[in-house]
Amino acid sequence: MDAFFIFLVIVAVFFSVVVGIGILYFSFRYRRSAKNPVGKIVEGSHALEIAWMAAPFVIAMFMFAWGSKLYVTMRRPPSDALEIYVVGKQWMWKVQHPDGRREFDELHVPVNRDIKLTMISEDVIHDFFVPAFRVKMDVLPGRYSTMWFRPTKTGRYHLFCSQYCGTDHSQMGGWVTVMEPSEYQAWLTGGSNSESLEQAGQALFTQLACVSCHGEGQGPGPRAPALRGVYGSKVKLTDGSTVVADEAYIRESILDPRAKIVAGYEPIMPTFQGVISEDQLLQLVAYVKSIGVPPAGGSPAAAGKE
Amino acid sequence: MSTTTASPAAAPSPPQPPREHYLNAGYGIRSWLFTTDHKRIALLWLISITFFFALGGFFALLIRLQLLTPQGWLFGPDTYNRLFTMHGIVMIFFFLIPAIPGVLGNFLIPLMIGAKDLAFPKLNLLSWYVFNIGALFTFYSIVTGGIDTGWTFYTPLSSIYSNSQVSVAVVGIFITGFSSILTGLNFIVTIHTMRAPGMTWWRLPIFVWAHYATSIIMVLGTPVVAITLALVAGDRLFHFGFFDPRLGGDPLLFQHLFWFYSHPAVYIMILPAMGVTTEIVATFARKNLFGYKFVAVASLAIAVIGFLVWAHHMFVAGISIYAAMAFSFLSYAVAIPSAVKVFNWTATLYRGSVSWQTPMLYALGFIGLFVMGGMTGLFLASLGADVHVHDTYFVVAHFHYIMVGGAVMGYLGGLHYWWPKISGRMYPEGLSRAAAIILFVGFNLTFFPQFVLGYLGMPRRYAMYPPEFQVLNVLSTAGASILGLGYILPIIYFVWSMRYGKVASSNPWPATGLEWQTTSPPPTENFETTPVVTWEPYDFEHRPDLGLPKPERAQPEQLEAPGLETGD
């Protein structure tokens, strides 16, 4: 990434200098004088035009390829990354670690470990930006976005919101603390919250009476599909199509149950829009994930917990 | 009438018969407000544009003052957010987009193609009125509390959460959009149908080509942003939910629609400035333009490809990886015609007779700043680098290099270059050269530090910032005060020159364009007899009327080696 940036700087400086020197040299060398009252007639040259279209194009394509390669890596989190959930709202960041520790405007992560953030906003679009890690990603309302990074040095780094989000946009930030793995473990257990995300989700599952239709998660529920083994599987819908049950699908099914009805069931589930918060949604999703089928090389951070 | 007005003013100057031209063809407010003369309408635009430039500049000044200290010592965040929003809205919709087409395009296109006026003179006047009605709405929204969404109006902040005057401002921009459409339409029809005998397409000045390309964007792009902003107003007032995920809408849809216009809008700003620069470079190098057809077609290529690059504003917004790659590729593609122009301008200087008069200083400044703006654009077009610098001061610096370093430099250069034609007077050369240099220095001091700030990670639109960024911010504010001085000077000496400037001849530089074939200032009907064009564009060879020695032809073998050096 930084090597790419340096390459871009070199190309930019090179072309600026070439054009700059060209302009200055020509305008001094061929400045107006009594001996040079009017310019010579120079006809255009197709060869030259093609050359100075082709050369920048080749360089541009090289930039395009290199930049795209970096981007593809950036957008595809490794499957064994440590998964942390982030909720943005005007004007704070709420972070939930898988074992339940929560923090605000701070993010603690272990060093030399791939970290995947699953993020959503409660209101407007925000953007999670850690300049030191060269990563940023918009955090949208209504859909999960993900980003990942691998910190290689312990320390404290700026966390900014970089998508303008209203009054206190410039104050919506904090620090990312990169710790030794052992310190991180100690830090995780230091919180007052003893419940893990899945446990919190399971409690909600009972509390919101999801259990009365979906069942205990063992067999099929009385009026609704069982959720054990659903996450990561292909679900058949009433219209004959199938969807992969991912985080976005689970979330949608809770907020807008009629959007996608599982084949063989009636559209009777009420919406939980406005009933539960994005934090609670993430807990429910984590719970459903934990009783799902761990796909080959899936995310053991969430699934391997129960 | 002419004798009574001429007697007191003309007393000190050598007695010359007072000649009727478009400026003295009528007096009184009605002769201006109901004029259909494109030249008078251009001056009406000049007044509106200058007002909004001053207003936007005032906001910029307050922004830079606030950023002197990390904690922001002048305003709270709510006021600051309104300031940068209104700076953006005023500068983009009410200055940059209409500036060159409204003032210079209006004044010059009929003159350059040998026509008496634009194709639809009344529509032309209507365009100015529509602009000002829209501007009134926006001005009302500013004085009654302002807007705090950023000029980009991103949803759902603008459609649901903002408590500011978004709806009024949006209505204002919606109305103003029609002004753009009318002007664009008028230019297209005029260029197609009103060219003088002999003025073939390949004899059009590049300025006209540039406005043709710009007009296409205005006519095709503006309706999209108008509809998009209407949908935002609908979401706010009637809770339609186009962009509200809770009602099944999509906030990203807004960004796609918004940038579909607002990226090409950048080309509305820069293409006319490129046209101005081309005219100036050819005139002050006294030389035929190198690669005329390539430069002309490059304008059209930029306009067309420019419509296909919008999502490069959304690389971190959550679009798919493959969509991002397609838009990155197309963004690199649009860089090529821009590079072609830069190389051709540079090559035009080769073996020229280069004079560093004020317009040329602006034109060369334009090329330099545009190259820097363009090269940093390559960072943003690349997916990997954009992720880091997106929405930081790097982007702010980049687009100010294009819009201020490019479009405003082009506008001011053009205003100087054609000022003798517009006003019939020369501006003061020494003072104006000083102003051009002050602007160049002030500009770079203001915006170069912002590249560094962005690379270090300072996000844009921050009312307060971490203390380590202060030094660069103070530098930037210092530069902005120099820049401000550079803008005040031309306003003063242009006004001064209207009365006290040296009387300009018809063709003071001299230049080859048709606009210099008529008197300065031109008569209301532009030309006494319809001109017939028998020469190629920027042709100094077959123009004994210019009073210059006949140029020699460069020996072919002499131009190969140094020419190629600049090529790559």
Q: Domain for residue B500, yes or no?
A: yes
Contact B567 A162 (CB under 8 A): no
Q: Domain for residue B489, yes or no?
A: yes
> What CATH number is given to the structural domain containing B249?
1.20.210.10
Contact A45 B563 (CB under 8 A): yes
Best to test chain B binding among A35, A46, A71, A272 (most B CBs inside 10 Å): A71
Contact status of B156 with chain A (Cβ, < 8 Å): yes
Contact status of B297 with chain A (Cβ, < 8 Å): no
Nearest CA to A164 among B147, B80, B162, B462? B462
Nearest CA to B89 among B55, B61, B126, B45? B55
Q: Is A306 exposed, middle or buried (0-12, 13-18, 19+ CB in 10 A)?
A: exposed
Q: Domain for residue B312, yes or no?
A: yes
Best to test chain B binding among A41, A89, A175, A256 (most B CBs inside 10 Å): A41
Q: Domain for residue B443, yes or no?
A: yes
Q: What is the pLDDT of residue B565?
A: 42
The CA-atom distances, in angstroms, between A204 and each of A253, A256, B114, B542 are 16, 18, 78, 87
Q: Which residue bears the tokens 């995947």?
A: A116
- In terms of CA atoms, which chain B residue is nearest residue A68? B383
pLDDT one-digit tens code per residue, B214-244: 999 999 999 999 999 999 999 999 999 899 9
What are A107's strand-pairing partners?
Answer: A176
Q: What is the pLDDT of residue A250?
A: 87
The rounded percent of chain A whose pLDDT value lies above 70 is: 92
Q: Domain for residue B548, yes or no?
A: no
- How many other CB atoms are there within 10 angstroms of residue A234's CB atom? 9
Q: Domain for residue B224, yes or no?
A: yes
Q: Is B194 exposed, middle or buried (0-12, 13-18, 19+ CB in 10 A)?
A: middle
Q: Domain for residue B26, yes or no?
A: no
Find the domain containing B383 and state its range.
33-538
Task: Report how far residue A98's alpha carbon sits from residue A80's, in angstroms, rounded to the nearest whole number.
Answer: 14
Q: Domain for residue B278, yes or no?
A: yes
Any idea which of A2-11, A270-279, B178-187, B426-435 has the lowest mean pLDDT?
A: A270-279
Asked if B561 and A50 count as a contact pair (C-beta separation under 8 A), the reply is no
Q: What are phi and psi of B548, to 5 degrees?
A: -110, 155
pLDDT one-digit tens code per residue, A163-175: 999 999 999 999 9
Asked if A273 and A256 count as a contact pair (C-beta separation under 8 A), the reply is yes
Name the residue type at position B19: R
Any idea which of A43-52, A57-66, A272-281 has the lowest mean pLDDT?
A: A272-281
Q: How many CA atoms lie within 13 A of B535 on its CB side?
A: 18
H or E element in which residue A251 lies: helix A247-255
- Exposure class string for B400-430: b at 16+ Cβ within 10 A, else e: bbbbbbbbbbbbbbbbbbbbbbbbbbbbbee
- Cα angle value B533/B537/B539 (rounded, 5°): 95
Best to test chain B binding among A24, A64, A72 (most B CBs inside 10 Å): A64
Asked if A98 and A286 count as a contact pair (C-beta separation under 8 A), the reply is yes
Confidence band (pLDDT; 50, 70, 90) for A158?
very high
Average pLDDT in chain B? 92
CB nearest to B340's CB, from A49, A125, A168? A49
Asked if B18 and B2 count as a contact pair (C-beta separation under 8 A), the reply is yes
Tally of domains in chain B:
1
Ranges of residues in chain B whose predicted pLDDT is under 50: 1-11, 559-568
Task: Report how far residue B491's alpha carbon sits from residue B500's, in angstroms, rounded to the nearest whole number.
Answer: 14
